[in-house]
Structure 1
Amino acid sequence: MTEVAPRLAEAEADLQDLIETHMETMLGVRFLASEYSAGPVHGGRIDSLGIDENGAPVIVEFTDRR
Structure 2
Amino acid sequence: MSTLELFSMRGSVTEVAPRLADEESEVQALVEAHTEIMLGVRFLATEYSTGPVHGGRIDSLGLDENGAPVIVEFTDRRYSCP
What percentage of residue pairs aligned between the two structures are identical? Answer: 76
User: Which of 1 and 2 has higher RCO (CA within 8 Å, sep 6+)?
Assistant: 1
Matching residue of 2:69: 57
Between Structure 1 and Structure 2, the one with more strand by share is: 2
TM-score (norm 1): 0.88
Question: Which aligned segments of 4 or more residues in structure 1 are displaced greater than 3 angstroms?
Answer: none
Gapped runs of 5+ residues in structure 1?
A: none
Deviation at 1:35, TM superposition (A): 0.3
- Specify the code of the residue in structure 2 equivalent to 1:17: A
Highest Rg: 1 or 2?
2
Report the count of equivalent residues: 63
Gapped runs of 5+ residues in structure 2?
A: 1-7, 9-15
